[in-house]
Structure 1
Amino acid sequence: MCVSIAAIAAVAGMGRKRCAEQREITRYPHDSHRRVGGGNPCRKAPFRRGRRLSAASILSLPLPELSKKLQDGSLPPEHVFYAYVGKLATETNCITEYLQESENQVRKAKLMEKKGLLYGVPVSIKDSIDCQVPPGHDSTLGFIKNLNKPAAEDSVVVQVLKRQGAIPFVKTNVPQSLISYDCKNLIFGQTRNPLLFTRTPGGSSGGEGALVGGGGSILGIGTDVGGSLRFPAAFCGICAIKPTGKRLRYCEESVGPLAKDVESLALCLRALLSEDMFSLDSTVPPLPFNEEVYSSTKPLRIGYYETDFFTMPSPAMRRAVRQTKELLEEAGHTLVPFELTNVDHVIFNYCVRGMFADGGTLLDFSKIRPDVACWLLPEKSQEPSCTPKESLSQQLWDSTSTPLTTSTFPPQDFCHQFIAQWKKLNLDVMLCPMLGPAFGIGYPAKLSVAVSYTMLYNALDFPAGVVPVTLVTDEDEEQLKGYKGYYRDWWDRTLAKVSSVGMPVAVQCVALPWQEELCLRFMKEVETLSLKKNSFF
Structure 2
Amino acid sequence: MTQRWRDLVTDKRRRQQESIPKEWFISVPPDTVLDVTAIPEQCGLFTAKELEITNTVDVGVLLNKLATAEWSAVEVTTAFYKRAIVAHQLVNCLTEIFVERALARAKELDEHLKATGKVVGPLHGLPISLKDQLCIKGLETTMGYASWIGKYADKNATLVDILYDCGAVPFVRTNIPQTLMWGETYNLVFGRTVNPANRSLSCGGSSGGEGALIHLKGSPLGVGSDIGGSIRIPALFNGLYSLRPSYGRVPYEGAVNSMVGQDSIPSVLGPLSNSLSGVKAFMQAVISQSPWTKDPLCVRKKWDDEAYALSEHGGGSTLCFAIMWNDGIVVPHPPIIRALEMTREALRAAGHKVIDWQPIKYLELGNAISAIWKAGAGEDFHVTTTETGEPVISTMNIVEGVEPDSSIRPAPTGISAYALWQVQKARAELRKEYLDHWQKTVEVTGTGRPVDAIISPGTPFVAPPHGRNNYTNYTKVLNALDYPAATFPVTRVDVSLDAKKPAHQFLSETDEAMYSWYEPTLVQNAPVALQLIGRTLEEEAVIAMTEVVDAALKAKAKVAL
Does structure 2 conserve the Cα–Cα contact (< 8 Å) formed by 1:263 and 1:524?
no
Matches within 5 A, 1:291-310: 291-296=305-310, 297-310=316-329
Q: Which residue of 2 aligns with 1:117?
A: 122
- SS of the residue aligned with 1:27? helix
Residue number among 126, 131, 136 corresponding to 2:131 in the alignment: 126
Which one-letter code corresponds to 1:65 in the other structure?
V
Which amino acid in the other structure matches residue 238 of structure 1?
Answer: L
Give the whole-Å Cα distance in 1 for the aligned partners of 2:502 and 2:157.
Answer: 47
Map residues 7-26 of structure 1 onto 2, 5 A cutoff: 25-26=9-10
Contact 2:324/2:457 (CA < 8 Å) preserved in 1?
yes
- TM-superposed CA distance for 1:263, in Å, is 1.6
- Residues 99-178 of structure 1: matches in 2 within 5 Å? 99-100=98-99, 101-112=101-112, 114-132=119-137, 136-178=138-180
Determine the structure 1 residue equivalent to 2:91: 92
* Equivalence map 1:282-361=2 (5 Å): 282-296=296-310, 297-348=316-367, 350-358=368-376, 360-361=378-379
SS, match of residue 243 in structure 2: strand
Residue matched to 1:195: 197
Cα distance in 2 for partners of 1:279, 1:401 equals 32
Contact 1:34–1:98 (CA<8 Å) still a contact in 2?
A: no
Q: CA RMSD in A?
A: 3.2
Distance 1:31 1:438 in 2: 31
Q: Is the 8 A contact 2:456 2:532 kept in 1?
A: yes
The equivalent residue for 2:183 is 181
Distance 1:107 1:357, change over 3 A: same
1:279-304: CA deviations, max 9, x gaps? 32243223222233324543222222
In the alignment, structure 1 residue 461 sits paired with structure 2 residue 482: yes
Give distance in 1, aligned partners of 2:516 and 2:381: 25
Alignment of structure 1 residues 218-257 onto 2, 5 Å: 218-249=220-251, 252-257=266-271
Amino acid at match of 1:166: A
The separation in 1 between residues aligned to 2:194 and 2:50, in whole angstroms, is 24
Moved more, 61-70 or 320-329: 320-329
Name the residue aligned to 2:285.
271
Pairwise CA distance, 1:82:
0.9
Structure 2: distance between partners of 1:424 and 1:245: 25
Residues 28 and 187 from structure 1, CA distance in 2 versus in 1: closer, same or farther, beyond 3 angstroms? closer
Q: Distance in 2 between matches of 1:33 and 1:440?
A: 27
Counterpart of 2:524, as a letter, is V
The answer on whether the counterparts of 1:122 and 1:167 sit within 8 Å (CA) in structure 2 is: yes
Q: What is the SS of the residue equivalent to 1:309?
A: coil
Q: Give the structure 2 partner of residue 73 of structure 1.
A: 69
Give, as a single letter, the amino acid of the residue that structure 2 aligns with 1:500. Answer: V
Which stretch of structure 1 is more off in the superposition, 241-250 or 293-302? 293-302
From the superposition, tell whether residues 56 and 203 of structure 1 become closer, same or farther in structure 2 (CA, over 3 Å).
Answer: same
User: 1:245 deviation in Å?
Assistant: 1.5
Distance of 1:509 and 1:181 partners within structure 2: 19
Following superposition of structure 1 onto structure 2, how do residues 54-73 of structure 1 map, counting pairs within 5 Å? 54-61=49-56, 62-73=58-69
Q: Would the aligned equivalents of 1:277 and 1:284 in 2 still touch at CA under 8 Å? A: yes
Whether contact under 8 Å (1:23, 1:186) holds in the other structure is no
Equivalent residues of 1:96, 1:127 under 8 A apart: yes
| Cα distance change on mapping 1:359 and 1:290 into 2, 3 Å | closer
1:518 alignment partner in structure 2? 541
SS of 1:223's partner is: strand
1:217-242 Cα shifts (integer Å, max 9, x gaps): 00001101111011111111111110
Secondary structure, counterpart of 1:302 in structure 2? strand
Report the Cα distance in structure 2 between the residues aligned to 1:32 and 1:97, rounded to whole angstroms. 7
| 2:431 aligned residue (412, 415, 421) | 415
Mapped pair 1:434 → 2:465: no
Distance 2:208 2:193 in 1: 7
- Asked whether the equivalents of residues 222 and 256 of structure 1 are also in contact (C-alpha less than 8 Å), the reply is yes
> 1:5 is matched with which residue?
none
Distance 1:301 1:503, change over 3 A: same
1:256 partner SS: strand
Q: 1:165 to 1:326 in 2, by over 3 A?
A: same
Q: Residue in 1 aligned with 2:527?
A: 504
Structure 1 486/240 Cα, relative in aligned 2: closer, same or farther at 3 Å? same
Higher RCO (Cα < 8 Å, 6 or more apart): 2
Matches of 1:224 and 1:34, distance apart in 2: 31
Q: Following TM superposition, by how much is the alpha carbon of 1:23 offset from its aligned partner in structure 2, in angstroms?
A: 5.8
Separation in 1 of the partners of 2:221 and 2:427?
Answer: 33
Which amino acid is 2:474 matched to?
Y
SS, match of residue 155 in structure 2: coil
2:507 to 472, 482, 486: 486
- Residues 229/217 of structure 1: CA separation in 2 closer, same or farther (3 Å cut): same
Which deviates more, 24-33 or 452-461? 24-33
Counterpart AA for 2:68: D
- Superposed CA deviations along residues 142-167 of structure 1, whole A, max 9, x for unmatched, are 11001000122111111111100000
Q: Is the 8 A contact 2:179 2:381 kept in 1?
A: no
User: What is the CA–CA distance in structure 2 between the aligned matches of 1:229 and 1:319, rounded to whole Å?
Assistant: 23
Contact persistence 1:99–1:170 (CA under 8 A): yes
Question: Which shows bigger deviation, 87-96 or 24-33?
Answer: 24-33
Deviation of 1:475 after TM superposition, in Å, equals 4.5
Deviations 1:459-503 (A, max 9, x none): 111101111112222255422463674224574355435732332
CA contact 1:63–1:264 (8 Å) conserved in 2: yes
The residue type equivalent to 1:482 in the other structure is: A
Checking the alignment, whether the CA contact within 8 Å between 2:122 and 2:166 is kept in structure 1 is yes
- Native 8 Å contact 1:20 1:26 kept in 2: no
Q: What amino acid sits opposite 1:465 in the alignment?
A: A
> Does structure 2 retain, via aligned residues, the 8 Å contact 1:429–1:510?
yes
Q: Offset of 1:137 from its aligned partner?
A: 1.6
Find the residue that maps to 1:273 and give its secondary structure.
helix
Shift, 1:357, TM fit: 2.4
Q: CA deviation at 1:27?
A: 2.8
Taking structure 1 as reference, are residues 180 and 23 closer, same or farther at Cα in structure 2, changes over 3 Å only? farther
Once the two structures are overlaid, the 10-residue window that deviates more, 115-124 or 53-62, is: 53-62
Alignment partners' CA distance in 1, 2:352 and 2:23: 56
Does the 8 A contact of 2:309 with 2:541 survive in 1?
no
Q: What is the distance in 1 between the residues matched to 2:16 and 2:273? A: 32
Amino acid in the other structure paired with 2:518: A
Moved more, 434-443 or 513-522: 434-443
Unmatched segments (≥5 aa) in structure 1: 1-18, 43-51, 374-385
